[in-house]
Amino acid sequence: MTVIRNPVVAGMFYPANAGELRANVETYLDQVEPRPGPAPKALIAPHAGYVYSGLVAAAAYASLWPYRDRYTRVILLGPCHRVAIRHLALSGADVFRTPLGDVPQDKDVIVALDMPEVNVFEAAHQFEHSLEVHLPFLQIVLRTFTLVPLVVGGTTPETVADVLKNLWGGKETLIVISSDLSHYLAYNEARAKDRHTCEAIEHLDANRIGHADACGATSVRGLLIEAKRRAMQVTTLDLRNSGDTAGGKDRVVGYGAWMFSES
């Protein structure tokens, strides 16, 4: 019997109807200007409702278009919002379902990941949106792939870096880090704070990013640590906030998209 992790924010963060969802995502992707560049190995993209952060997420995922056929596995890390956890949590489900269909977990890779900091803990995934909202973009751009979904809790960036090192794989493996940026600051204050975070990411400086700068700070910092070890190149694809998209400017949430490529 197939164990399914059903969507929990369909109809809230993104459309629940498959046709409407596909059209919605494709509209965001169509608004991104094509830009030449190397194949992404890793992305940082936001996880808010699509009306707020969909265009920023699209900037990340549009970078995959020229290379979409090379990726068969996605390592997806996002912060916990509903259930406080230590370390990193895998899911026991066989597939993650969205209105666009099912994404199978890569059980072979998961079984091979023998690390005490990584365990199956279904409660962390049950109501978590930080991973789910990325799947429709991935389903449309990549079409077919397996998934290694990890909810990141109270662990260290160094542990995340070690997990990423063990899951790195080859050109078939894409890493996606799910994170929004500053939360509930005034528009201009948020812009300044998010620019500081952007500069830290561009310089692979994990020490300059805290949880007030990015809700997925632990995963972001872990990626930066491993990216620095590998002398990766970083490209900023978009940087804006909810005051630029669908919200007021009194209390905004920041969003950014970055692409990491191997030298």
DSSP strand pairing (73-79 vs 42-45): unpaired
pLDDT of 253 > 90? The answer is yes
Rounded CA-CA distance 236/249 in Å is 23
Closest CA to 177 of 230, 241, 234, 98: 234
As given in the structure block, the two tokens for residue 260 are: 């990491």
pLDDT over 70 percentage in the chain: 100
Q: What is the pTM of this model?
A: 0.98
Task: Enumerate the β-bridge partners of residue 233.
Answer: 261
Gap between the Cα atoms of 53 and 48, Å rounded: 6
pLDDT in tens, 160-205: 999 999 999 999 999 999 999 999 999 999 999 999 999 999 999 9
Task: Please give the pLDDT value at position 205.
Answer: 98
For residues 243-255, give the mean pLDDT. 96
Nearest Cα to Cα of residue 56 among 258, 263, 262, 261: 258
Among 32-36, 118-122, 169-173, 238-242, the range scoring the smallest mean pLDDT is 32-36
Q: Name the burial class of residue 210, with classes exposed (0-12), middle (13-18) and buried (19+) by CB atoms within 10 angstroms of its CB.
A: exposed
Helix (H) or strand (E) holding 43: strand 42-45
Q: What's the CA gap between 28 and 45, in Å, rounded?
A: 14
Given CATH 3.40.830.10, say whether it is the number of domain 4-261.
yes
What residues form DSSP beta bridges with 111?
Answer: none
Q: Which pLDDT tens digit goes with each residue over 2-18?
A: 999 999 999 999 999 99
Residue 263 in this model has a pLDDT that exceeds 90 = no
Domain borders along the chain are 4-261
- With vertex at residue 105, the alpha carbon angle to CA 99 and CA 106, rounded to the nearest 5 degrees, is 145
Both tokens assigned to 263: 């030298």
